[in-house]
Amino acid sequence: MELTDTPILARAIDLRRLLARNSYFLLGPRQTGKSFLVHHTLPDVRLYDLLDSSTYLTLSRNPGRIAEELTERERVVVIDEVQRFPELLNEVHRLIETRRVHFLLTGSSARKLRGGGVNLLGGRARTQYLHPLTSHELRVRFDLARAAERGLLPSTYFSDDPQADLAAYSGTYLQQEIVAAGVTRNVPAFSRFLKVAALCNGTIVNFTNVANDAQVPRTTVYEYFEILRDTLVLHELPAWRKSIKRKPPGSSKYYFFDVGMAAALQGRLFRRDTPEFGQALETIVFHELLAHRDYVCDEPLHTGGQPRVSRWTS
């Protein structure tokens, strides 16, 4: 089945239903479809896009501008990429309390939102994660081999040149964006680490081996893994520790948020006829379970069974 045009897909998250009851942080890596979802499902809602330079400058000079522009009838406001100006959350907090406005606050980095002194609204906003596309959302358009080779970001799954798009994403976003955010300034070291971390996808990580291969101190490896988790690029699958039949595995496994991104950083294709296809399948299954947890059931996920043996494990 050849797919060329990006269709309008029904995502698993119903923003109108969520915002009827509460304010929400909508978090997810770039290009998972947050902005498209907002524009498609909330076209009539006031939106402030902090990637727009004029909007960012206006609100940074006068956060109270939102209150000045809101009408009495408006009950929902969207702030896109709120991590660019976390201090704006003080004004959001005030408007939730005084005007009973519900906010949708989208972002691609939990790290900046958890920075020192940032107002996280004291429980007045819940958190919802948006993941790459799932088989349920794609329905008849889902193709396992296509997903393994291209990943499940909307922009790459339906791309006419997915490998170029994945290369641009991994180069521009994962390196430039994260480095520009100020979480690390050593670009060569972080770039080396990214490739080694991608090779650890779906495994129990030996941090000493990663440090040796990336040529960075072990303490830096821990910091870099934390950066990837905080920017929602990497997910940790903790070990199951309640088994009564056998000794449980003692370490977590790590998965990149998108199988196509893991392949691009590794510099290979996860084709069906390659040994790496098993890694791709495992990553896709984990992605489906993670999305189901965040969209439907909110149950914890754990790794179990015998750890996969790889050059990265002890």
What type of residue is 2?
E
pLDDT for residue 310: 39
pLDDT for residue 308: 46
Are the C-beta atoms of 22 and 125 separated by less than 8 Å? yes
Backbone angles phi and psi of 46, in degrees to 5: -65, 130
H/E stretch holding 195: helix 187-199
The CA–CA distances, whole Å, from 299 to 125, 185, 260 equal 20, 37, 26
Q: What is the dihedral of CA 43, 114, 191, 264, to 10 degrees?
A: -40
Are the C-beta atoms of 113 and 25 separated by less than 8 Å? yes
Query: How many angstroms separate the most distant Cα atoms in the chain?
Result: 63
pTM comes to 0.87
Are the C-beta atoms of 86 and 115 separated by less than 8 Å? yes
pLDDT for residue 275: 83
Tokens of 37: 């979802």
Backbone angles phi and psi of 120, in degrees to 5: -100, 20
Tokens of 59: 């609100």
DSSP 294: I
Structural domain boundaries in the chain: 15-129, 143-297
DSSP 115: S
pLDDT for residue 309: 39
Are the C-beta atoms of 59 and 88 separated by less than 8 Å? yes
What type of residue is 25?
F
Q: What is the pLDDT along the chain (314 residues), one digit of tens a residue?
A: 444 466 788 999 999 999 999 999 999 988 999 999 999 999 999 999 999 999 999 999 999 999 999 999 999 999 999 988 988 999 999 999 999 999 999 998 777 776 655 567 777 899 999 999 999 999 999 999 999 999 999 999 999 999 999 998 887 766 666 666 555 667 788 888 999 999 999 999 999 999 999 999 999 999 889 888 888 899 999 887 665 555 555 578 999 999 999 999 999 889 888 888 999 999 999 999 999 999 998 888 877 644 443 333 33
H/E stretch holding 237: strand 234-237
Backbone angles phi and psi of 125, in degrees to 5: -135, 130
Rg (CA), the chain: 20
Q: DSSP string spanning 255-270? A: EES-HHHHHHHHTS--
The architecture in CATH of the region 15-129 reads 3-Layer(aba) Sandwich (3.40)
pLDDT for residue 124: 84
Closest CA to 55 of 26, 78, 23: 78
